[in-house]
């Protein structure tokens, strides 16, 4: 069929999302006091969710073929 780019993109976003989420949890007070909300935690979770969705789509496409 062709090259399935969903796997490397999903893996990248999942790993980066985990790192940023852990960083957001670890540095919670410093970030909240400057911005008013935890920017790193929110975007870490968003990136993690996107990565997991891409990995899920990869496995669904792989199972159908």
10-residue mean pLDDT series, the chain (65 residues):
85 97 85 77 96 95 83
Q: Are 4 and 61 in contact (CB under 8 A)?
A: yes
- The predicted pLDDT at position 21 comes to 95
Alpha-carbon torsion (28, 33, 37, 43), positive or negative: negative
Selection from 62, 65, 61, 58 nearest residue 6 by Cα: 58
- The predicted pLDDT at position 20 comes to 95
CA angle 7, 11, 13 (to 5 degrees): 120
3 state DSSP class of 13 = helix
Write out the two tokens for 49. 């969710």
pTM: 0.85
């Amino acid at each position: 069929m062709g090259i399935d780019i969903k796997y490397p993109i999903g893996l990248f976003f999942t790993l980066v999302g985990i790192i940023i989420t852990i960083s957001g949890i670890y540095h919670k007070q410093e970030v909240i006091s400057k911005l008013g909300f935890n920017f790193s935690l929110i975007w870490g979770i968003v990136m993690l969710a996107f990565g997991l969705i891409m990995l899920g789509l990869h496995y669904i496409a792989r199972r159908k073929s």
